[in-house]
């Protein structure tokens, strides 16, 4: 069985995220004029995939440690708790 092309385009640390890749076309269409709100972003694995897909993103998590990891990995265009410069 051949993978959908979108799946092979979405990589995170060398691993494929087939579940998220399946939703990217709908997210691109639905969020063309505003950001995706990621509740419970953890260490930012899905955040990275969403940003790589060109989506604007607002992400947060209750774990300050996880947010710190996500913030280090995130692009400066992503607003994370404590990053009020944008």
Instruction: Please tell me the least confidently modeled range out of 27-36, 46-55, 68-77.
Output: 68-77
Contacts of 49 (CB under 8 A, 6+ apart): 10, 12, 17, 20, 21, 24
* 85 vs 63: CA distance, rounded Å: 21
Per-residue pLDDT of 5-47, as tens digits, reads 444 444 444 445 788 888 899 999 998 889 999 999 999 989 8
pTM for this prediction? 0.66
Between 80 and 19, name the one with better pLDDT: 19
The answer on pLDDT for 86 being more than 70 is no
pLDDT score at 82: 53
The answer on pLDDT for 74 being more than 80 is no
């Amino acid at each position: 069985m051949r993978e959908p092309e979108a799946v092979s385009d979405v990589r995170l640390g060398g691993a494929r995220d087939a579940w998220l890749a399946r939703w990217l076309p709908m997210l691109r269409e639905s969020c063309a004029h505003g950001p995706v709100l990621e509740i419970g972003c953890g260490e930012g694995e899905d955040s990275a995939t969403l940003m790589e897909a060109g989506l604007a993103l607002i992400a947060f998590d209750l774990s300050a440690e996880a947010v710190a990891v996500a913030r280090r990995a995130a692009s400066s265009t992503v607003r994370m708790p404590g990053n009020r410069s944008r």
